[in-house]
Amino acid sequence: MKRCQVGEVAFYTIDELAAGPGVVAAVSTRHGGVSTGPLASLNLGFNCGDEPAHVRANRYRLCCALGLEPHRIVCARQVHGTVVRLVGEESAGAGFGDPAAALSAVDGLVTDQRGLALWLVFADCVPILAFDPDRPAVGIAHAGWRGTAGRIAAALVATMASTFGSRPECLRVAIGPCIGPCCYAVGEEVAAVVSAAVSDPSRVLVAATPYRLDLGEANRQILVAAGVAPAHIALSGQCTACRVDEFYSHRAQGGCAGRMAAVVAIR
Ligand SMILES: [Zn+2]
């Protein structure tokens, strides 16, 4: 992943996903927007107490920086679930300027429509972006501990396979910045349900009191178990809680955090 800046807007492009020029895949930072205070400055979420006009302005800024058309962004109301939905032109623009119009209760999106941009928001949870260069098709998922325990990453792969005929071993997948094992203390109940979802819990849980959880590694294991080639999985490894200078972190900011966006589209 490579840090880029267009005007004031800073973001990471996921070049590992875009083997060719045909894909836009990016994760935003907190830099380059108009929001203030703990939400400074590129807050892209409507549900964290910001002025809606600020969120809209920030969303337009990121679209401009990435060369995306706002009326073709598809946004979802995320609920820490495991539902992955196929979206087409009928969903273009959903929820971009008005959160009430976002697709309800989904945490994963897939499409094979060119120019339709799949957009989810994050502050510590794991962004998972996928690209099938053969179809082509793209997908995105939001995985906190609940989504990880429910294996939403595997649901994303399975949905792309059943919908587009994507072969898991041919997918390119990226795991973006998220809270790292350095900062993510969890209780026994969370440790147990995430352990049950992965192939090698010893690499996912740091045995300490309390446990510390590596959500990025957990999702990497779930993707491999779903058939994705390890060499095709790019792991950011950046911790959102360690880097509150660069990202928003729900944990590190005591719940007063803005939201980054992850976005993927076929050009
Ligand atoms: Zn950390």
Give me ligand 1 centre to Cα 32, in Å. 23
**The residue type at 14:** I
Output the CA torsion 95→103→92→20 (10° steps): 100
Tell me what pLDDT residue 146 has. Answer: 98
Q: How far is the CA of 180 from the centre of ligand 1 (A)?
A: 5
Is residue 145 within 8 Å of 190, Cβ to Cβ?
yes
Query: Rounded to whole angstroms, how far apart are CA atoms 114 and 134?
Result: 14
Residue 241 Cα to ligand 1 middle (Å): 5
What are the two backbone dihedrals, phi and then psi, of residue 228, each rounded to the nearest 5 degrees?
Answer: -75, 135
How far lies 213's CA from each of 86, 181, 184, in Å?
30, 5, 6
The single-letter DSSP state of residue 116 is P
Query: 21: CA distance to ligand 1 center in Å?
Result: 32
Strand partners, 261: 121
Distance 189 CA to ligand 1 centre (A): 21
Query: What is the spatial distance between Cα 16 and Cα 51, in angstroms, rounded to a whole number?
Result: 35
CA of 184 to the centre of ligand 1 (A): 7
What would the two tokens of residue 11 be? 């973001």
- Digits of tens for pLDDT over the chain (267 positions)? 999 999 999 999 998 887 666 899 999 999 999 999 999 999 999 999 999 999 999 999 999 999 999 999 999 999 999 999 999 999 999 999 999 999 999 999 999 999 999 999 999 999 999 999 999 999 999 999 999 999 999 999 999 999 999 999 999 999 999 999 999 999 999 999 999 999 999 999 998 889 999 999 999 999 999 999 999 999 999 999 999 999 999 999 998 999 999 999 999
Q: What is the pLDDT of residue 16?
A: 86
Predicted pLDDT of residue 187: 95
Counting other chains too, the contacts that 72-75 makes at CB distance below 8 Å and 24 or more residues apart are 72/115, 72/116, 72/117, 72/265, 73/117, 73/119, 73/263, 74/103, 74/109, 74/111, 74/116, 74/117, 74/118, 74/119, 75/99, 75/102, 75/103, 75/119, 75/120, 75/121
179 CA from centroid of ligand 1 (Å): 6
Task: Enumerate domains of the chain plus CATH numbers.
Answer: 2-179+234-266 (3.60.140.10)
Expressed in angstroms and rounded, the spacing between residue 133 Cα and the centre of ligand 1 is 33
* Predicted TM-score of the model (pTM): 0.98
> How far, in Å, CA of 34 to CA of 68, rounded?
19
Say what the pLDDT of residue 45 is.
Answer: 98
Residue 170: what pLDDT?
Answer: 95
